[in-house]
Structure 1
């Protein structure tokens, strides 16, 4: 598993964003979505726009719901490892 930076500060254009868990070399941001606020459609739209903005600079955003973090921590860990492994593999 790579080193993740918590609350990593990233600038995209004029905006500064803070990423929950950022693997810089792999350009993967793991967002840990809270149990309550992310059920709101307005919050979801804000998240989607933010994710799209990060994609413009090559950052993949992966979101895990609070429920999964609590009830399926090993599966979340395996999925995260698979994603960052694939992102760090050479292409070509």
Structure 2
């Protein structure tokens, strides 16, 4: 299974979702099933839309760092 950006120590997978693929209802279902499967082995999936990555860089960075910090404790 391919993970976009996996933080091993924190067991967090950061998924970078593009509108073309992830706007499809079938793909959304596939993503939800995959996220649930990863949760069964203790991996938290955090998804960021491409739009946010481009337009809200500082906010995405803050959120990511906060999530990783919480998971370290």
The structure where helix makes up a greater share of residues is 2
Where structure 1 has 5 or more consecutive residues not aligned to the other structure, the ranges are 1-16
Query: Given the alignment of the two structures, is residue 64 of structure 1 paired with residue 48 of structure 2, yes or no?
Result: yes
Larger radius of gyration: 1
Gaps of 5+ in 2: none
Q: 3-state SS of the aligned residue for 1:19?
A: coil
Please state whether the residue corresponding to 1:36 is helix, strand or coil: helix
Coordinate RMSD, CA, aligned? 0.5
Per-residue Cα deviation, 1:15-72 (whole angstroms, up to 9, x for no partner)? xx11000000100000000121111100000000000000000000000000000000
2 CA distance for matches of 1:49 and 1:20?
16
| 1:81 pairs with 2:65 | yes
Q: How many residues align?
A: 73
For 1:55 and 1:49, how far apart are their aligned partners in 2? Answer: 10
Higher relative contact order (CA 8 A, sep 6+): 2
The answer for the alignment partner of 1:18 in structure 2 is 2
Deviation above 2 Å: which 4+ runs of structure 1? Answer: none
Q: TM-score, normalised by structure 1?
A: 0.78
